[in-house]
Amino acid sequence: MSAHFLTIEALKKIYPAAGDKANPPVFEDIHFHIDKGEFVCIIGHSGCGKTTILNVLAGLEEASAGTVIMDGREVRGPSLDRGVVFQSHALMPWMSVLGNVAFAVRSKWPDWSKDKVAAHCTQHLEMVGLGHAIHRKPAELSGGMKQRVGIARAFAIQPKMLLLDEPFGALDALTRGTIQDELLKIVQATHQTVFMITHDVDEAILLADKIVLMSNGPHAKIAEIVEITMPRSRTRAGIHHDPQYYRIRNHLVDFLVNRSKTYAGAEAEALHDAKQPPLVRPGLEAEEPTANIFVLPADKPAPQLKKVINQ
């Protein structure tokens, strides 16, 4: 039996083709694990199968091959052991905020009294800053508030694992930052295990313990797993003061811009043989000497800046 809370082995997905020609695998040879209480983000270009992997973990899709074991049991279909928050809020418009959360809670604990359900839901809505809005309908809420309801609903069923599919992707920067901070506080307080899809490198560095990097699809694989070695107490306001931040960020950006496109051949074969993708710690790497940085002379007039840089 695996010592890890979640173990993914040899996962592969091929969608049926419309004609006689077979489709290539979206991804294949996916091996990784998540320990209890870890926050793991997955990053990669569109088409590499990130959402499909999350749907397989949620039990909403079946893999073409491979297995997913969570807490000692194989994942086969949806379960209230896994809470899912989608990019779209997925709220029932005819129900109040409280009603949307209560619907999930009653599914988990059908024997609870109405008062106990209401108290439990209110507690989790207050946790995401929506205690004042429990009787509003979704149409009366902003986009950020709707996503908070979805997060409260997912936490309220007390899942063993939380699955987040770009839950902040459609939000403005200020709202996104506020909810990131709230999610970070809740996860740290509850020690929740989280698997999250994001396209935002800075969001991943802020929230995650590890970041899974996917090569481009089709035939996508996990190229490497980046461990975030900065202190867990990091905040949005202070994270950029840590010298590790820039080394980690540059490593991730270099992968997305360059290495994700060229990852193939010998590298892919080596990963197939090794099964587990390499774990890297770019934050702990020695800093390279700074090069190609132009320093503007102190006596140079600001209007000539463009001319100086072009010289």
Query: What's CA 59's distance to the chain center, in Å?
Result: 17
- pLDDT per residue as tens, the chain (311 positions): 568 999 999 999 999 887 778 889 999 999 999 999 999 999 999 989 999 999 999 999 999 999 999 999 999 899 999 999 988 778 999 999 999 999 999 999 999 999 999 999 999 999 888 999 999 999 999 988 998 899 999 999 999 999 999 888 777 888 888 888 888 888 888 899 999 999 899 999 999 999 999 999 899 999 999 999 999 888 888 898 999 999 999 999 999 998 887 775 545 555 555 567 899 999 987 655 443 333 334 444 444 433 333 43
CATH 3.40.1000 fits 6-76+200-310, yes or no: no
Q: Where are the chain's structural domains?
A: 6-76+200-310
User: d(Cα 204, Cα 226) in Å, to the nearest integer?
Assistant: 11
Rg of the chain taking only CA atoms, in angstroms: 22
Structure tokens at 82: 């896994």
Residue in this structure with the two tokens 């360059």, named with its chain if needed:
258
Q: How does DSSP classify residue 109?
A: -
**CA neighbor of 27 nearest in space, from 15, 40, 12:** 12
User: d(Cα 108, Cα 160) in Å, to the nearest integer?
Assistant: 13
For the stretch 12-17, contacts whose Cβ atoms lie closer than 8 Å and that sit 24 or more positions apart, written own/partner, are 12/63, 12/64, 12/65, 12/66, 13/49, 13/52, 13/53, 13/56, 13/61, 13/63, 13/64, 14/64
Residue 195, helix vs strand vs coil: strand
